[in-house]
Chains A and B, each alone.
Chain A
């Protein structure tokens, strides 16, 4: 199998690491070689963060480069736009339709781009979800990234049962049930 390239992007603190670890788990359980590459440290403090997940028969390079991603999972609109050029021609963007202002916008030095989802949809296949609103309804805003993962899972190679199993293995034991529910919400939207 040709190596599949997934990117998870967002704002530091949004939980990209947990999502990538679930992805790493499910690919390994399915017998693939897998490499994940993460960002720790200072860049995590509210900065733009990116995690790469590559799986296939034998993976060498641990990063995904421009023009190579099959799926781009974005936890924030502006970050989807920042990394969209990493997608392959037929790649898919799954984006959490939420706005988090970067510091240049907060201090008035830059404007937050309008119509991001529309602009991206003109060029790429885009699936958007208001995951934070859904997570609030579910009663735990921290589950929003699992809702986004649920949307992305519809466009990937594994079965729903495999996803639920992978989630169970990676999330804190107390949050298994609520995260499974969150996944279902995303998987059915």
Chain B
């Protein structure tokens, strides 16, 4: 008997890969894709790893595929940019063992720096894209992606979005497929992408696109539901659910394969309904193609290219229904913040005090850009802080960056920051780089990386020594400072930014959420000694509250005893309590 369980979309993708007989999974953590790896690692039959970045992850999967094994690479949408180089070429090479890339888009920017549409990348790379609309399909489509990959000799992208990846639904489980070992055969014409070979493989890519466009008209995952034919909706993924909810009686062409499009099927559907609507979140990828074939359709004229859709949005835009809802109460916003005891708060409070400008990067420490810390002034992408600081120096001279530093987390540093640091060495920068080493990949929920000494499988491994790594590329001036020793940190930053020499300060203290053991030390306000000067509140610790009578108190369910407030207080107004 089959078993139904509730699964997160990402968990279902992992299950689908497992059932498809996948051998290798490689990824770099990134919301909303992270849980794919965190779930696939539970299957002993699958080798799963955190790679240092998405390009490496993609290439690891390509290697496994080349020798005939099924392989998965998963990443968030911006990770696909990092992996784009191998992706464009492996589109030509194709797949021996099924090769699947999961790209997790983030409409609504829950945890991302942009709102790009991975389908556009896949179109440019001429890679087929499957788009599931619930957890069951997440599993089924992932399995199908491996079959498709082998049948059409192509990498296949499974595109998910935050709403699918982080929603749970019922999934029917199946057993893992037993695959026969494929013998490896040398095939230079297929696997060595030099001009002569690539020219021929490009023909394969074009032919593949044509065949898929025709064959996919009969794919089960492209489904037509005819009901009321006055309106017909071409849709896919999570927006399909919004159409079902808002207009249950509508005729729908639900696309499972969204690149290339099943042209004949779409033309036939369009001919049978009065008005065609294309409902897709983000860019008009389907819509523009459909319109280019001369089909009259309505899409982004009435719907946005930004954020997530909803049933109410469709009711208003398409059915012109007035959706009457109470106004939201006007209450203070609650943006994400650094946790109580976060070492980044300590670091940023020092930089704030010294009026240092920060070229920032991607991680929890991006929150140093907002009040009350207000020190981070740039954030572009993974690894960018170091190189943008270098660019500033080359544009305006070393004096200009005397009150600047670059900050980057340990995981982000190993992702791509190291390349930027090599550039600083090579091209004679005098900048100061702070590696905020909290011994984990924090923002995505504590994943190990090459400097933590532990693999995704939980095995012990060599921990790359960041000091030796920096020294190895030619930086003599490397020091480690405890993130919570604010006097030492202040001294180090002051001295190093003054020097005409490249400096790396490794600001070290583990993420406050890493240690799950009970708190043994906390701090309390000594109401007699407290002068109510509010200096301790400046770093914005959420555990410290100003009471209506003007006094301060420290919340004993939040304080984790980092002691930053005690170091800041000049009057002994904060006292340590051993629990």
Contacts and interface: CB of A to CB of B under 8 A. Distances in A.
Nearest to A32: B170
A37 B166 contact: yes
Contacts of B326: 66-67, 84-85
Interface in A56-109: 59-63, 65-67, 78-79, 81-82, 84-85, 100-109
A108 B326 CA distance: 29
A81 B545 CA distance: 20
A24 B6 contact: yes
B196 interface: no
A78 B31 contact: no
B364 A63 contact: no
Nearest to B338: A45
Contact of A107 (B167, B238, B328, B537): B537
Nearest to B340: A46
Given A81-B331, A82-B328, A103-B540, A41 B443 contact: yes
B540 to A, nearest CB: 6
A102 B334 contact: yes
B546 A61 contact: no
Contacts of A39: 110, 166
Contact of B310 (A63, A78, A110): A63
Given A28-B170, A85-B325, A106-B544, A47 B335 contact: yes
Interface in A15-32: 21, 24-25, 28
Interface in B319-365: 323-329, 331-339, 364
B244 A60 contact: yes
Interface residues of A, number: 53
B244 A102 contact: no
A174 interface: no
A110 B332 contact: yes
Contacts of B544: 106
A46 B336 contact: yes
B169 interface: yes
A48 B334 contact: yes
A72 B19 CA distance: 38
B371 A109 contact: yes
Contact of A61 (B110, B244, B337, B540): B244
Interface residues of B, number: 58
B367 interface: yes
B490 to A, nearest CB: 22
B545 to A, nearest CB: 6
B337 A34 contact: no
B312 interface: yes
A66 B244 CA distance: 18
A43 B110 contact: yes
A36 B31 contact: no
Contacts of A79: 334
B111 interface: yes
Nearest to B244: A60
B316 to A, nearest CB: 11
Contact of B324 (A37, A44, A67, A105): A67
A61 B329 contact: no
Nearest to A136: B557
B229 interface: no
Interface string B307-321: 000111000000000
B245 A60 contact: yes
Contact of A42 (B111, B163, B245, B324): B111
Contacts of A12: 336
Contact of B169 (A47, A62, A108): A62
A62 B311 CA distance: 10
Contact of B334 (A41, A42, A78): A78
Contacts of B445: 40-41, 44
A102 B335 contact: yes
A117 to B, nearest CB: 13
A181 to B, nearest CB: 19
A24 B171 CA distance: 13
A34 B134 CA distance: 11
Q: Which among B337, B367, B544 has the highest number of chain A CB atoms within 10 Å?
A: B337
Nearest to A112: B332
B241 interface: yes
B284 interface: no
Given A45-B364, A106-B544, 5 more contacts: A34-B168, A41-B445, A45-B337, A107-B540, A113-B332
30 contacts: A21-B6, A24-B168, A28-B4, A28-B170, A36-B6, A40-B32, A41-B31, A41-B32, A41-B34, A41-B444, A42-B31, A42-B364, A45-B336, A45-B338, A45-B364, A45-B367, A46-B334, A48-B334, A62-B163, A66-B323, A67-B323, A67-B324, A100-B555, A102-B335, A103-B334, A103-B370, A104-B333, A106-B541, A107-B540, A141-B557
Q: Nearest 3 CB-CB pairs, A to B? A: A41-B31, A41-B111, A47-B336
